[in-house]
Amino acid sequence: MKIAVIGTGYVGLVSAACFAGWGHEVVGADKDARKIAALRRGELPIYEPGLDRLVDEAVAQKRLSFTTDLSIAVAGADIVLLAVGTPPRLRDGEADLAFVYAAAREVAGLIDRFTVVVTKSTVPVGTGDEIERLMTRARPDASFAVASNPEFLREGSAIGDFQRPDRVVIGANDSRARELLQALYAPLREQNVPILATDRRTAELIKYASNAFLAVKISYINEMADLCESVGADVREVALGMGLDHRIGAGFLNAGPGYGGSCFPKDTLALLRTSQDHAVPMRIVQESLAVNDARKRRMALKVIDALDGRAEGASVAILGLTFKPETDDMREAPSIPLIEALQRAGARIRAHDPEGIENARAVLDDVEFFDDPYECAAGADAAVLITDWKSLKALDLGRLGHGMRRRVLVDFRHAFDPAEAERHGFALTAIGRPS
């Protein structure tokens, strides 16, 4: 098939590379000329394990190309995937669909055969209906169908998630569109991946329902972690004991400093707005958002407590800045409010991250950055692990502690073995267990 992917952000680029890897002819289009120029030089705008190799291979085999010219991408396309950004609107937090609608209007003017226009971006329920309306108005004679095919990949493991998903959801009200998308995902059906075909609105909602549920799960275990600290229990074992019940499942029960990233905070807010627009309260989602916001703001207190309440003038080494490992993404990262609160309390911040320093510079002021974690901790009064990169979990605590002024360690991700930390003379504070 010939596929046009509009938007070469996370979802667009990964989808484009993976579909090309399955043998389709894919053109990735983006309005950002600098991004396209970089992609043509073989430089990726994001860090994602394995993506560079996949893109290089597909480009070399002439199955993947990039353009700023939408007409080149859309000409002869069987499928147009809309994967443009849907950032939260400042005024009300709702997903901003301006880019999606603008792209859809433009695509309407360019299609030259029956084309299935598919939303891959996370879009509120009813967006497909609006796209259909806009496109029909822009081009009454065009032959097209609008479908929803939400993407469930995670940053950091995007390629594996795309190639071996738990499920694929195809939301189409038109049988030709449904059949074309089923054919697109035939390689996954052969691997026994469930392909769920629904109507368009249902597919749109499945994406939000899934993300919000996972966010609720995290907030739930985070509150349980607080209770564990007070009653003298260990949240990791509570999570293990819960997760062995297959009805609950073990995933997403890792207590931490609160969820971040470009999806959970934005999507829970957008779902909440949708529920309010329809006068259907979703109190559980609302509370989980509030719990997460409060948690991210409160985490600095743990560090200040570990410093015996004296943050003023203290030097704090932050290990890991991105919202999770294996990504350079700083969006909504728990490290940001934590660092800002420590700075307000008078601490000086030194920070290390394996991939995120460049993006962190853009969002953090007055922070000294280090490429080496040991140099970062040198002379510090406390080391704080926020993101559990493999390289940070494997740190030599003896070496880390050797250079520090005080051996205070705050571990927000259960990255370190408490016995090992104690052996090296650290006073360890961890989430969800009595210290």
Binding residue numbers for substrate? 152-155, 207, 252-256, 260, 324
Residues 326-355 contacting ligand UGA, CB under 6 A: none
Written as six digits, the tokens of 240 are 């293990």
Binding site for NAD(+): what residues are annotated?
30, 35, 86, 122, 155, 266, 331
The reply to whether 149 sits near ligand UGA by the rule CB under 6 A is no
Binding site: what residues are annotated?
30, 35, 86, 122, 152-155, 207, 252-256, 260, 266, 324, 331
Q: Smallest gap, in angstroms, from Cβ of residue 150 to ligand UGA?
A: 8
The reply to whether 120 sits near ligand UGA by the rule CB under 6 A is no
Residue among 18, 228, 263, 376 flagged as catalytic: 263
Written as six digits, the tokens of 121 are 């971006």
Nearer to ligand UGA, 245 or 366 (CB): 245
Amino acid at the residue 106 = E
Burial of 181 (0-12, 13-18, 19+ CB in 10 A): buried
Q: Smallest gap, in angstroms, from Cβ of residue 336 to ligand UGA?
A: 12
To the nearest 10°, report the CA torsion of 326, 329, 333, 335.
Answer: 70
Q: CB–CB of 64/42 below 8 Å?
A: no
Which stretches within 167-248 are classed as H helix? 175-184, 186-190, 200-231, 235-243
Burial of 318 (0-12, 13-18, 19+ CB in 10 A): buried
Site string for ligand UGA, 187-216 (x = CB under 6 A): ------------------------x--x--
CB half-sphere exposure, 297, CA atoms < 13 A: 6
Q: CB–CB of 350/319 below 8 Å?
A: no
Q: φ and ψ at 247, to 5 degrees?
A: -70, -25
Amino acid at the residue 398 = G
Nearer to ligand UGA, 211 or 429 (CB): 211
The reply to whether 324 sits near ligand UGA by the rule CB under 6 A is yes
CB half-sphere exposure, 212, CA atoms < 13 A: 25
Site string for ligand UGA, 250-269 (x = CB under 6 A): --xxx-x--xxx-xx--x--
Q: CB–CB of 349/374 below 8 Å?
A: no
Q: Smallest gap, in angstroms, from Cβ of residue 147 to ligand UGA?
A: 18
Written as six digits, the tokens of 177 are 């569109």
Among 22, 99, 152, 213, binds ligand UGA (CB under 6 A): 152
Nearer to ligand UGA, 263 or 345 (CB): 263
Nearer to ligand UGA, 224 or 377 (CB): 224
Nearer to ligand UGA, 94 or 151 (CB): 151
Told to judge if 263 belongs to the known catalytic residues of this protein, a careful annotator would answer yes
What are the catalytic residues?
A: 263
* Contact positions vs ligand UGA (CB under 6 A): 122, 151-155, 211, 214, 218, 252-254, 256, 259-261, 263-264, 267, 323-324
